[in-house]
Amino acid sequence: MKTLGLFRHAKSDWNDARLRDFDRPLNERGRTGAGLMGLHIRHYGVRWKRIIASPAVRVTQTIELAARAAGQMPPLNWDRRIYLASSPTLADLLREQDSDPASILMVGHNPGLEDLIFDLVPDDGSSPLRDEVEEKFPTAAFAVLELEIDAWSQLSDNCGRLKHLMRPRDLDAKLGPQIED
């Protein structure tokens, strides 16, 4: 059994059109959400044996703020392949992990993270959390999957169960979708 955590970067700022997508920082709502989710991830209780993350600015800021709020900075492995990667690319990256850590937290982007959940968790009606992800895996969302594998190299479609899903709006309604007046 392996445990996979997926943490999407927090809400980013689109105000500076001169910035490359890779260089977009978090906006104020994103900074608040990142800290709140960092506390939640810490209290969830999994000790992540390995953390792999996209080096995009919005991801690095999400991790920095989440770690600061949680009072701990975990060792990180930055991997540019996570930046805007598809689900198959993310799965390949997980299959490459050496020393078979019991748990991995991957921090990155959509649609890849969301699609990875869809690929790993069967669409058989048994997972209400999967149904929630189908609605949306928003910025700063955190999901935990249990995988029926002994080694990361065995990762395959439909090998997982979605055990946990938390979004910033679940912890603070002000961080939910903005309603226009």
pLDDT digits over 19-36, tens only? 899 999 999 999 999 999
3-state secondary structure 73-93: CCCCEECHHHCCCCHHHHHHH
pLDDT of res. 145: 98
In CATH, the architecture of 2-13+20-173 is 3-Layer(aba) Sandwich (3.40)
Contacts of 62 (CB under 8 A, 6+ apart): 7, 9, 10, 26, 30, 34, 107, 140
Contact criterion met (CB below 8 Å) for 155 and 95: yes
The radius of gyration of the chain's CA atoms, rounded to the nearest angstrom, is 16
Question: Which pTM value belongs to this model?
Answer: 0.94
* pLDDT tens sequence for the chain (181 residues): 999 999 999 999 988 888 899 999 999 999 999 999 999 999 998 888 999 999 999 999 999 999 998 887 777 999 999 999 999 999 999 999 988 999 999 999 999 999 999 999 999 988 899 999 999 999 999 999 999 999 999 999 999 999 999 999 999 888 877 654 3
Q: Could you give phi then psi for residue 54, rounded to 5 degrees?
A: -70, 145
Q: How far apart are CA 55 and CA 120, in angstroms?
A: 24
